[in-house]
Structures are given as structure tokens and as C-alpha cells.
Amino acid sequence: MIGSLASTRGAWLAAAAALTILSACSKKDAPAEAANSAPGPSNALEGQVDIVAWPGYIERGESDKGYDWVTQFEQDTGCKVNVKVAGTSDEMVSLMTQGGYDLVTASGDASLRLIRGNTVQPIDIARVPSFSTLDKRLQQAVWHFVDGKHYGVPYQWGPNVLMYSTKVFKTPPKSWAVVFEPQIFPDGKPNKGRIQAYDGPIYIADAALYLMKTKPDLGIKNPYELSEQQYSAALDLLRKQHPLVQRYWHDANVAVQDFTNEGVVASGSWPFQVNTLITNKQPVSSTVPEEGATGWADTTMMRAQARHPNCAYKWMEWSLSPKVQGDVASWFGSVPTVPAACENHPLLGPDGCKTNGIDNFEKIWFWRTPEAKCEQGTCVPYSKWSTDYVAIMGGR
């Protein structure tokens, strides 16, 4: 709860009274009494909270006055919100490891790395009363609930959709093959130089998911748990894809510009780009192909040495209000982690959650950090994914 000056002053008066009593006690008793009266952690708000976040996740009305879920929080709490925007999970891990930030909106391909590295701390969900309003499917999700501890508060989720030009595709593409396999598009032109791929090692999972359906003999059961043979097959597919790729994107706004001006007509995408382009009257749409899709379920996590933990807890509680959840989902094109946000929200509208993919939950393989220990015994860890994908983007 918000600590007031009155409650803080009361705590100090109580401590002073305890010291007065101690002065009348014998020297033998004094140490025990002093230990029992030691003050606990302060609940006083620190005046600011520093957050690493994905683009569009924390808005204060600077891009559009209708989207502002920061100003009211600052007015209510006195905690100024400072945001550092990061474009990839690797960047988020690096920033949080370096220090200087309290919170991060981590995707599943970052969260386990942050937990295993002791970079983030378990959350006391008693200090986040609205935790109980979260989608039950997310409350103990494996990318943030580890060893019986909650390492964060779910924020938003969504699929990595296939975005396509409706001028080129009169009907939605049925398969991810349009971005993985050389082919002629319906307009009679090849896909080479007209597609994009994501600039992040976790994209290897997209290739593995495609192979899971198109080459079942590989025996892939989970795109984040790959044997050496399965992993090699995914890398081979990505190497063959490389000559087709116009750009490996990580900046969502650059991806928007490429669809507008650079002749790109198909790409894996976040709903954010789709919504932005449609708002700008561009001829695009999106789909989840028959192979399914990867996706992200982002968690607000607190650094182990957070400098402003009380303001951080206040932000986590604020982030779960239906108003904030709906505002973020409307702006970013994501799905709220609090189902109540889908009901009667002025910005989302009656069909906003459906439009943003709430019905696709069971089709999504949410991002997870690949680890060496896995259900099939031993799998290729993320460190190798990271090294190999850099090489692939470089044409090796």
C-alpha cells in the first residue's frame, strides 16, 4: 500500500519509544530487546520507477493523447515513470544485467535467462492484489513461475502473425511457406527480396515450428526443445531463406516503413505493425497459418537489486487494472492478461480482443528460453542459438 508521511512518522515515534524503554533495562537484556525492535523494510515510495519496455508498451500520450496510462499513475503515487525502450530480448537482458532499472517487460525468451542469472527477484503477489484477476492460464506459466515462485506479473500476450499485402494475396496465405520457401507469389513475381524475417535468435523456433508440421519425420515436439539433428534442420531452412530476405527486422516502425515504401509484401510480424499499417490506410492484413505460430507472453519482472521497489510494486498493481490492460492492448495490438479488460473497454471496443487474437491462445507456442536440459534429455541451449543466428543473418 502507499506509505504516507503520517505512517512513516508513526514508525519512527514507535522506534523512539522502544529506545526509551531499552534505556531502563539491564545491559544483559539490552541486546535482545534491540534486536526485536529493529525496523522492517520501509514502504515509503521512492519517487520514481525505471522500466525497460518494448516499444508502445508504456505510453504517456506523446504519440497520441488518447493513449496515456502513465500520467494518472504519476499523479496518484508521486512515482515518476522513466522508460528505456528496447527492441530485442537480448537487449533487455543486457540492460537488466548492467543495472540501473527496476522493472522489465520480459518476453519468455528472456525471462528464464533473467531468473537463472539471479538478475530478477521473486515477487510477493500479496503486494499485487489484482494478481487474482489474471487469466488462470498465465498465473503459473512456465516462463515466469519457477520452483514454486512467481518471478513477475503477466502484462500482455499475442501471436507472431503472418502479415501480408492484400494487393498481392487476395486470400490469406495458408502456410508459412511464403516466407521460408522460394516461390512465385499470386501477382506473378517471386518472393525473393519481398519478405522479411525477425532479427532475433528466437526466430529459429519459427523455422522449427514450420518443420514440425511439414517434416514430421524429424520428430520435433516442441520448437524450443531441439536435438542436434532437429536444430541442424532448422538452421538449414533458415540458410535457404536468407537469399529471400529483404531485411531482418527488430524495429517495428522500420518494418512498417518497409511495407509502406520498400515493396515488402509478407513477413512474420507483431499485431502492432498490422494495426499501425491499417490505421494508415495501407492494404495489409494478417493470419495465423495452418502450422500455428510462435508468440509472446510478456511479464513485468523486478530486478534483484531494484532501487525503487515500492514504486515498482505500485506499477505492477496499476498495470493489471482493466483500464490500463485495455489501453495497452488497443495501442499495441496485443491481448490483455486480465480478461475483464476485454469487456466494455472504450478503446478496444466489443471485438478488440478477438481481433487481436484471443481465440488463438491454444495455437501459440509462446517464446521460451531454450535450455540444455529438456524433456527429451539434452537440447541445444540458447547460447548456441544466439551465435548461430548471427551467422545466418550474415549469410553464413
Q: Provide DSSP, 67-102.
A: -BSSHHHHHHH--EEEEEE-SSHHHHHHHHHH---S
Closest CA to 286 of 240, 324, 255: 255
Contact 79, 318 (CB under 8 A): no
The per-residue pLDDT for 40 is: 53
The per-residue pLDDT for 363 is: 87
Residues 194/199/200/205 CA torsion (nearest 10 deg)? 0
Closest CA to 264 of 273, 255, 276: 255
Name all domains of the chain by residue range, CATH numbers in brackets. 5-36 (no CATH), 48-158+296-360 (3.40.190.10), 159-295+369-393 (3.40.190.10)
Per-residue pLDDT of the chain (396 residues; tens, 9 = 90+): 333 333 333 433 333 344 343 343 333 344 444 444 445 567 899 999 999 999 889 999 998 999 999 999 999 999 999 999 998 899 999 999 999 999 999 999 999 999 999 999 999 999 999 999 999 999 999 999 999 999 999 999 999 999 999 999 999 999 999 999 999 999 999 999 999 999 999 999 999 999 999 999 999 999 999 999 999 999 999 999 999 999 999 888 999 999 999 999 999 999 889 988 998 999 999 999 999 999 999 999 999 999 999 999 999 999 999 999 999 999 998 999 999 999 999 999 999 999 888 988 988 999 999 999 999 899 999 999 999 999 999 999
Handedness of CA 389, 390, 394, 396 (dihedral sign): negative
| Residue 291 in grid coordinates | 502450422
Contact partners, residue 253, CB within 8 Å, separation at least 6: 55, 276
The per-residue pLDDT for 312 is: 98
Q: Residue 132 and residue 204: Cα distance in Å, rounded?
A: 34
The per-residue pLDDT for 275 is: 86
Q: Which helix (H) or strand (E) holds 146?
A: strand 145-146
Contact partners, residue 52, CB within 8 Å, separation at least 6: 83, 84, 86, 92, 95, 96, 101, 103, 104, 105
